[in-house]
Amino acid sequence: MSKSYLALEQIDMVFSRDGTSTQVLKQVSLNIDKGEFISIIGHSGCGKSTLLNIVAGLTQATRGVVFLEGSVVDLPGPDRAVVFQNHSLLPWLTVYENVKLAVDKVFGRTKSRQERHDWTIRNLELVQMVHARDKRPSEISGGMKQRVGIARALAMEPKVLLLDEPFGALDALTRAHLQDQVMQIHAELANTVIMITHDVDEAVLLSDRIVMMTNGPAARIGEVLDVPLERPRRRVELVSDPTYLRCRSGVLKFLYERHRLMEAA
C-alpha cells in the first residue's frame, strides 16, 4: 500500500478485440502529492486518456492498482471528478440546475436544501458564471459551458480533479482565460489536479510536474519534468523567464524525438 496521496502502481492496460490484443499502457507508476497539479502529455495514441479513465474508475486496468489516500480505487466515485473536452452538460437543464444536480447527488443526505443552494452558487462564483445561472447550455458559449463543467466537478468536492483536454476545443483567447481561472481556483482550493493536454505551453504554465508519455503501443512514462516556477504565475512575465523557457524546451525536445521515432518506425 502506497503512502502517497495518489499512487499509480505498475499499471498495464491491454485491449482485446476479435482475438487481437493491443497493449496500450505498460508498467506505468506515478506518485502524486496532495495539492499537486500534474499534466500528462504525449503524442496521440499513447494512452493518456486511458490512464485518466483508470484513475477515474471508468476503465479497469488489466494489471496494477490505483491508491487514493491508501485505499484502492477501481470504480467511479465523487472523490474523483472528471471534466472532458466535451462539456457533457444536460441541455434541458439550466446552468444552475446542471451544477445543482451534482450537489444533490453527493450532498443530498449531508447538507440542507439551503446549504446545497449556497454551495451551488459558491461553485458558480468560482468560475464566474453566476450571471448565467438561468441560461441553458444552448444559450451560452463553448468556454462558458466548460466553466460550468468545471463548476459541476468542483461542487462534488473531489479529492482529485481530472481534466481531459478541457480547453482543447476552445479558441486561443478563451483558452487563455480559462487557464488563468483554473490557476486561480487551484491557488484558492489547493486541490489535486491531473490534466491531459497536447499543449506544451499550457502544461508548463499550469503544472508542478509534467509527465511525458512514450509513444504507443505499450506506452510508458518516458520522463517526469519538474516545473519550479513560483506561483502565482503570470503568462506575460513568463514569456522571457529562463526557467519557463528551459522547461518548455525540455518538453518540446522529448516530443520531437518521439515524433522522429514514429516517423522512422
Domain presence at residue 126: no
Flag residues of the chain having pLDDT under 70: 1-2, 87, 259-265
Domain CATH code at residue 230: 3.40.50.300
Domain presence at residue 219: yes
| Beta carbons of 57 and 212 less than 8 angstroms apart | no
Which grid cell sits at 218? 505499450
Q: What pLDDT sits at residue 216?
A: 83
| Pick from 247, 210, 255: nearest CA to 30 | 210
pLDDT in tens, 148-165: 999 999 999 999 999 999
Torsion angle, CA of 50/56/57/61, rounded to 10 degrees?
A: 30
Domain presence at residue 180: no
Domain presence at residue 137: no
CA–CA distance, 107 with 260 (Å, rounded to integer): 50
Domain presence at residue 61: yes
pLDDT in tens, 83-134: 988 768 999 999 999 999 999 999 999 999 999 999 999 999 999 999 999 9
One-letter amino acid for residue 216 of the chain: G
Residues 6 or more apart whose Cβ sits within 8 Å of residue 59: 13, 50, 53
Q: What pLDDT sits at residue 231?
A: 94
Domain presence at residue 53: yes
Q: What pLDDT sits at residue 217?
A: 87
Domain presence at residue 94: no
| Residue carrying C-alpha cell 496494477 | 64
Domain that holds residue 3: 1-78+196-265
Beta partners for residue 9, in sequence order? 65
Q: What pLDDT sits at residue 41?
A: 96
Domain presence at residue 252: yes
- CA angle, 180 then 160 then 114, to 5°: 85
Phi/psi for 199 (5° steps) reads -95, 115
Whole-model pTM: value is 0.93
Which grid cell sits at 139? 444559450
How many domains is the chain partitioned into structurally? 1
